[in-house]
A and B are shown apart, each in its own frame.
Chain A
C-alpha cells in the first residue's frame, strides 16, 4: 500500500499570504496524484488532478506541482474561504489511498 504523508499537519497564515502544502509518497506515484479540499461540515471537493491540472471551477490561486514522490499544493494568496482541510490522494496502485490531511487556518 502506498502511504502518503502530508505536512505540516496545521498551517496558520494571515490573509493574502502564500500557503505551501506538501504530500510525500512512500513510492513513486508518477503524476497520479490529486488534491481535495474539505471545508468544515462538507464533503471533499476535487481541486487538482494528475498533479497539476485544476478541476473545473477551481480558482487560479490554487496550483499543484510535483511528480514521483514529492508534491506541492500552493495557494498563492490565502483568503478566509480557503479555511479547510486539504487531502492528497494517489491512484497509481491499489488500494487508492489518501494522505492524513493539512488543516489550513487563518491567523
Chain B
C-alpha cells in the first residue's frame, strides 16, 4: 500500500533552518507530485508548495518564496522540504502529501506529520 513516512520532530532556534524528509513506498515515486502542507497548533491547513519528483520542478506558494526549498532523491524515493529563516510562527506540523490518483492537486495519502518547534 502507498505509504509516506516522515522524519522525526525537530526543535530549532529562530533564524535556523530545518529539513524534513518524506520517504515514499508502495508506488512509483517519480509518477506523482509531492506536496507540502503545514498546520500551526490548533489552526487550519496551509499549502506550501509542490515538487515534481520526475524532474525536480517546483511550485511554491508566494508566502514561502525565498525561504522554502523542495528537493528529492529518486534513488531512495524521498522528498525533502527545507525552510530557512525560522520564526516562532513557523512552529507547526509539516505534512507531505502525494498527489491523488484521481486528478492533480488533491492530496492522498498524507504522511504522519513532523512537528517543528521554533523556540529560543
| Interface bracket on B | 20 to 34
Given A43-B95, A43-B112, are A98 and B46 neighbors across the interface (CB < 8 Å)? yes
Distance of A96 Cα from B97 Cα, bound (Å):
13
A44 and B102 contact, Cβ closer than 8 Å, known pairs A98-B45, A98-B47: no
Contacts between the two chains (Cβ within 8 Å), count: 59
Is B16 part of the contact surface with A, judged by Cβ < 8 Å?
no
A43, A45, A50: residue with the most chain B Cβ atoms closer than 10 Å: A43
* B107 is an interface residue with CB less than 8 A from chain A: yes
Q: State the majority secondary structure of interface residues on B.
A: mixed
**How far does the alpha carbon of A91 sit from the alpha carbon of B44 in the complex, in Å?**
17
Residues from chain A with a CB closer than 8 A to the CB of B62 are 95
Contact pattern, A 83-98, Cβ under 8 Å of B = 1, otherwise 0: 0000101010011111
A53 interface residue per 8 A CB criterion: yes
* Nearest CB of chain B from residue A89's CB, rounded to whole Å: 8
Chain A positions near chain B (C-beta within 8 angstroms): 34, 36, 43-46, 49-50, 53, 55, 87, 89, 91, 94-101
Interface residues of B (CB under 8 A from A): 35, 44-47, 59, 61-63, 95, 97, 100, 102-113
